[in-house]
């Protein structure tokens, strides 16, 4: 049996003569997205999100009693985020032990969500957000933030706004929206951005690679427009869930 390597090869170019990307998208186009809310029975709130081939589940528990107790904050809830990648989610098996990258991303995601949550309403408690990457094809931190804010809303946790996130990248000299794994690997830079769209408040901005001030401006504008499109999809997913719950309650009352 011939063993064929499954590792993605570097393509000759990332943008063709028609201005289309490796997966056929235009430079300002998001990947196809699917969002579902209330997908896990055990959790207080949950969400499932697909962004192209990236797939993520989020479960939220809380506000609940905090263990160990000494971590409790007297004036607000402690928001805890755990970002984990399944061993089978990437091309080269990921070790199940928590990696430095997972620990860092858990913190980055928490910091992107914190400004939206009214933590001061639940002193001494914990709100736990568990993020499981089932399949990774780039942009997992942003997909996690988008899905986590849906799961928090599903758990009924008061928030001033949802948080929507997307990464833009510099690819073959073009600024492109919502980069996938191959664009992330072989492009010249990426910039993940999270936004509270109603308040126009940026809660995450990272930058990798060399960007001129003009490229940065263009990238940020593209990311904000992308977040606004994602925000509209988040609201639709939440509305759909609430209509389902309403139907269930009405049926039970019959």
Which residue of 16, 91, 120, 221 would you call a contact of ligand UDP, by CB under 6 A?
A: 91
Q: Is 226 a binder of ligand UDP (CB under 6 A)?
A: no
Which residues share a beta bridge with 51? 33, 54
Q: Is 154 a binder of ligand UDP (CB under 6 A)?
A: no
How far apart, in whole angstroms, are the C-alpha atoms of residue 156 and residue 45?
A: 7
Q: In angstroms, what is the minimal distance from the CB of 184 to ligand UDP? A: 5
Those residues whose C-beta lies under 8 Å from the C-beta of residue 178, and which sit 6 or more positions away, are 25, 29, 30, 31, 51, 52, 139, 166, 167, 168, 226
What character string, x for contact with ligand UDP (CB under 6 A) and - otherwise, covers 51-90? ---------------------------------------x
Q: In angstroms, what is the minimal distance from the CB of 108 to ligand UDP? A: 9
Q: Is 183 a binder of ligand UDP (CB under 6 A)?
A: no
Considering beta carbons, is residue 1 or 97 the nearer one to ligand UDP? 97
Considering beta carbons, is residue 115 or 192 the nearer one to ligand UDP? 192
Backbone phi and psi for residue 173, each to the nearest 5 degrees, phi listed first? 80, 0
Q: Is 50 a binder of ligand UDP (CB under 6 A)?
A: no
How far apart, in whole angstroms, are the C-alpha atoms of residue 109 and residue 195?
A: 12
Q: Is 194 a binder of ligand UDP (CB under 6 A)?
A: no
Stretch (H or E) spanning 62: strand 54-65
Considering beta carbons, is residue 31 or 141 the nearer one to ligand UDP? 141
Q: In angstroms, what is the minimal distance from the CB of 56 to ligand UDP? A: 10
Which residues share a beta bridge with 132? 57, 84
Cα first-last separation, the chain: 62
How far apart, in whole angstroms, are the C-alpha atoms of residue 51 and residue 208?
A: 21
Task: Please report how many Cα atoms fall inside a 13 Å half-sphere around the Cα of residue 214, on the Cβ side.
Answer: 2
Q: Is 31 a binder of ligand UDP (CB under 6 A)?
A: no
Q: In angstroms, what is the minimal distance from the CB of 245 to ligand UDP? A: 31
Query: What are the angstrom distances between the C-alpha of 79 and each of 71, 121, 197?
Result: 11, 12, 21
CA angle (244 as vertex; 158, 231 as ends), nearest 5: 50
Q: In angstroms, what is the minimal distance from the CB of 230 to ligand UDP? A: 15
How far apart, in whole angstroms, are the C-alpha atoms of residue 79 and residue 65?
A: 12
- Tell me, by CB under 6 A, how many residues bind ligand UDP: 13
Considering beta carbons, is residue 181 or 215 the nearer one to ligand UDP? 181
Q: In angstroms, what is the minimal distance from the CB of 102 to ligand UDP? A: 9
Q: What residues from 92 to 151 belong to the interface with ligand UDP (CB under 6 A)? A: 94, 101, 136-141
How far apart, in whole angstroms, are the C-alpha atoms of residue 169 and residue 74?
A: 41
Considering beta carbons, is residue 140 or 149 the nearer one to ligand UDP? 140
* Contact residues: ligand UDP, CB under 6 A: 90-91, 94, 101, 136-141, 167, 181, 184
């Amino acid at each position: 049996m011939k063993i064929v390597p499954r590792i993605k090869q570097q393509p000759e170019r990332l943008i063709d003569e028609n201005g289309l990307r490796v997966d056929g998208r235009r430079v300002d186009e998001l990947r196809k997205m699917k969002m579902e809310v209330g997908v896990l029975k055990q959790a207080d709130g949950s969400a499932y999100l697909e962004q192209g081939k990236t797939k993520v589940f989020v479960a939220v528990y809380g506000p609940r009693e905090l263990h160990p107790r000494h971590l409790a904050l007297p004036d607000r809830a402690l928001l805890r985020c755990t970002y984990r990648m399944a061993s089978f989610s990437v091309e080269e098996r990921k070790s199940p032990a928590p990696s430095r990258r997972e620990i860092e991303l858990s913190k980055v995601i928490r910091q992107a969500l914190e400004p939206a949550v009214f933590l001061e309403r639940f002193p001494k408690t914990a709100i736990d957000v568990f993020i499981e990457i089932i399949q990774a094809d780039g942009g997992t931190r942003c997909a996690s933030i988008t899905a986590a804010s849906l799961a928090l809303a599903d758990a009924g946790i008061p928030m001033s706004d949802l948080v929507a996130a997307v990464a833009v990248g510099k690819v073959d000299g073009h600024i492109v929206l919502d980069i996938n794994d191959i664009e992330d690997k072989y492009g010249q830079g990426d910039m993940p951005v999270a936004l509270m769209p109603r308040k126009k408040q940026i809660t995450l901005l990272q930058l990798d690679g060399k960007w001129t001030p003009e490229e940065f401006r263009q990238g940020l504008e593209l990311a904000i427009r992308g977040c606004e499109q994602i925000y509209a999809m988040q609201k639709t997913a939440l509305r759909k869930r609430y209509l389902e719950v309403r139907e269930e309650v009405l049926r039970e009352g019959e």
